[in-house]
Amino acid sequence: MDVTHLRFFSKKSIVRLFNDCGFQIELIEGISSAQSMKFRLLNFLLFGKIRDLKYMQFAVVAKSNTE
């Protein structure tokens, strides 16, 4: 992990953070995905419950709700 990052977020917590701060998310995409067969198998066995862990980072495009 990057030593400059102080917090870790799931996709759900990112959406909550932006909404709580008065922003509307227009686009959110995971980047730097894990391509491991072990991860894909585990995610399959857990019915997709860890799919957000596939991404090391998320890119977010948002706009202020006050506009």
pLDDT digits (tens, 9 = 90+) for 15-65: 999 999 999 999 999 887 777 888 889 889 999 888 877 888 889 999 998
Domain assignment present for residue 18? The answer is: yes
- How far is residue 15's CA from residue 23's CA, in Å, rounded to a whole number? 9
Rounded Cα–Cα distance for residues 11 and 33 (Å):
13
Give pLDDT, residue 29.
92
Regarding predicted confidence, which is higher, 67 or 32? Answer: 32
Query: Structural domain tally of the chain?
Result: 1
Residue 2 lies in a domain: no
pTM: 0.69
pLDDT attached to residue 16: 95
Range of the domain at 16: 11-64
